[in-house]
Amino acid sequence: MKIDMITIVLAVITAAVGFLIGNLLRKKSSDAIVASAEELAAKMLEESKRQAETITKEATLQAKDVVYQAKAEFERETKEKRRDLQALEKRLQQKEENLDKKVNLLDQRDAEFIKREQTLVTKEQGIAQKEEKLNQLISEERTRLENISGMTAVEAKKILMETMENEAKLDAAKRIKAIEEEAKETADKKSKEIMALAIQRYAGEYVAERTVSVVALPSDEMKGRIIGREGRNIRALEAATGIDLIIDDTPEAVILSGFNPVRREVAKLSLEKLIADGRIHPGRIEEVVAKAEEEIEQAMKEAGEQAAFDLGVHGIHPEILKLIGRLKYRTSYSQNVYQHSLEVAFLCGIMASELGINVKQAKRAGLLHDLGKAVDHEVEGSHAVIGAELAKKYGESPKIIHAIMAHHEDEKPATVLAVLVQAADALSGARPGARREMMETYVKRLEIWRGLLHHSAA
């Protein structure tokens, strides 16, 4: 249809062109020209028809080709869908077969379950009958026994339980006594071994230190220079140090008297410097005393740090280290407290190692146990209580504080660590020659502390 329309349009266009050309030619040309134009128009019309036929054929072929391709595509899709449907149908058939098998299996299991259930019911009935028969026999036997013994089952059970209870108590008491005796024997032996080992393994640099604040003079003439005109030099020295100077008939010596061991050491060092320098007057005295105080402060700090380093104890507050250094100038029963504290720390560490408790904590407690003696001449109270308060102030642990407080029974020992510090303190202070005590006192104190260590080991 579309091709016919194209042919008609071409024919109309050709006719119109021929008509126009004919009109023009008629007006301007002769009849021959008109004839030629008509012939030309006829040729053009013929050519147009041929082209229209060609186009029509091509369009027809294209249309057939499109129809053929569409048909082929439709057939291909149809085949694929048919294959998909066949595969789906096959899977459905397989699933149906599997379901049939499962149904059959379930039917078989149901049958087996019903059969087992029936068997169990039968067995339960048999067990119930046997149990009933057994209970009847037990009841008959119990009645017969009650008739023979002349007592009920409750009474017999009560007598049996009382008998077993008494026997168990007796056995338990015997066992407890045996364990206690064994523990006492073992603990006594262990405590002796630990104390002996601690004494053997620790060797102090010296036993006791007999410190007296005496300054040697090059000659007795120096006494007059120390006193000064109208006593101004000695007054200046006493005012600067807080220590009394005793200048008597003792040849070539000046005695320093005072409760504060650090001030006494400052006075001693200052006087020695003044004697060596030779210039002794109030202005020079104040200068030398100030320098001596700085040196003593530095020496105390270094002594505290050295003690902590030697023991391997770290994290101690700097103020506590300084107080430990002050103990270097403190004595107790002629025993140097600084050396005594180091000795107690080492002994605590040895005994703690044998008992399997924290060695560093034991050393720390031993080192700090006499901390209060560094300031006990300035603060009221027992040196154990003062030391515990200082340790608490500078952040020591409750166990360390308790060990310090309890080492002279200001507080009842509640931990093994506290007992260890007591024992080590006794060992260090009670050794022959450590203090001005007799052998009998030494042995007595050792017996007391061995008993305490005996309980801690138990």
The dihedrals phi and psi of 245, each to the nearest 5 degrees, come to: -100, 125
Whether pTM exceeds 0.85 = no
Per-residue pLDDT at 137 exceeds 70: yes
- Determine the residue type at 367: L
DSSP label of 432: B
Mean pLDDT of 288-304: 89
Per-residue pLDDT at 207 exceeds 60: no
If we measure between CA atoms, which residue out of 411, 404, 328, 419 comes closest to residue 364? 404
Q: Share the mean pLDDT of the chain.
A: 78
pLDDT at 432: 47
Residue 206 falls in which region: left (phi positive, over 0), alpha (psi -120 to 50) or beta:
beta
Mean pLDDT of 208-228: 72
* Distance, CA of 247 to CA of 262 (rounded, Å): 21
If we measure between CA atoms, which residue out of 425, 455, 426, 456 comes closest to residue 441? 426
Contact yes or no for 21/44 (Cβ under 8 A): no
pLDDT at 206: 42
Pick the more confident residue, 9 or 98: 98
Which of 73-87, 173-187, 252-266, 415-429 shows the lowest per-residue confidence on average (mean pLDDT)? 173-187
* Residue 34 pLDDT class (50, 70, 90 cuts): low
How crowded is the C-beta side of 327, counted as CA atoms within 13 Å? 28
